[in-house]
Amino acid sequence: MEKYADVIQIGARNMQNFFPAEARGTSEKKPVLLKRGMSATLDEFLMAAEYILSEGNYNVMLCERGVRTFSDFSRNTLDLAVVPAVKKRSHLPILVDPSHGTGKRHKVLPLSRAAVAVGADGLLVEVHHQAGRKALSDGIQSILPEEFAELMTEVRQIAEVVHRVVN
């Protein structure tokens, strides 16, 4: 897989599966996207990243994708408070995945805007031209291409307010 991939993702369910994390550290030094586990604390999240870093791969990105809570109105609770907390305690970039974080298309744009406002270094957003029931995977959390274009315009405006630049 590493021969063809630009980034290696360690998903939420494997965040604390230390063997793959260590293996990523000794790989070809491809960037690693480490998604936060569904019940992981900030310390557990940062320590999982340390396993990769300790093996010599310093190309690690963190990703907040929601945690399990008592809430039943979205798939997960997107913990945007973790973004400034990571920024305070770590040098690693942190991305936010509002698509998986909520599992609901109508929540992706507002939470993406909020993620940029709190300092996220990037977004992972699912986009599909037939978002909804026709998409083969994750359709209910995917936004349409025209919504993505709108989001990018808004994200650039928000980034400017918080003294950031979107490439």
- What is the C-alpha to C-alpha distance for residues 153 and 136, in angstroms, rounded to an integer? 28
CA distance 28 to 6: 11
Q: Which amino acid, 66?
A: G
Predicted pLDDT of residue 73: 67
User: Residue 15: its pLDDT value, please?
Assistant: 64
> Which pLDDT belongs to residue 1?
72
Q: Which residues, 6 or more positions from 21, have their beta carbon under 8 angstroms from its beta carbon?
A: 10, 14, 15, 34, 48, 51, 52
- Those residues of the chain that have pLDDT short of 70 are 13, 15-16, 18-28, 73-74, 133
* pLDDT score, position 57: 86
Domains and CATH numbers, the chain: 8-161 (3.20.20.70)
